[in-house]
Amino acid sequence: MKFNRCPGHPLDSHPPEARKGFAIVATDNGMEWIEERLQSLVNSCHPFTTIVVENGSMDSTLALVGTFSDVICLPQDRNLGFGRAGSIGSLEALEAGAEYVFLLALHAKHHPDPESGTE
């Protein structure tokens, strides 16, 4: 199964070491949270690829996600819910050879270095 990606964010552009682990973020009208969530993933000390499943937001979420060059975006035409969006992102990650996948709720925040407690 293949899903459309945002233009300019091909999976193959990610370095091999970042392709083992994938972070999946589902969003719908998430302008209030998405930038901080993606920045926490970008700043992580753990190498992984981030996939955003954009659930048909009516705000500018999709445009903001597009400003993160290292994030793969899978835009949907409607809100499929967290579970289905997580499945879509996970399937994409597994097709790309993911060794592990984690789902990050939009209201949760990834701590880039959990041992030090820093963000």
38-77 pLDDT tens trace? 988 887 777 789 999 999 999 999 999 999 988 999 999 9
Cα–Cα distance for residue pair 112/9, rounded to 1 Å: 22
- What average pLDDT does this structure show over 11-29? 75
Cα–Cα distance for residue pair 98/119, rounded to 1 Å: 25
Is the per-residue pLDDT at 84 higher than 90? yes
Buried-exposed string 17-56: b where 16+ CB fall within 10 A, e elsewhere:
eebebbbbbbbbbbeebbeebbebbeebeeebbbbbbbbe
Amino acid at 6: C
List Cβ neighbours of 97 (8 Å cut-off, separation of 6 or more).
Answer: 19, 20
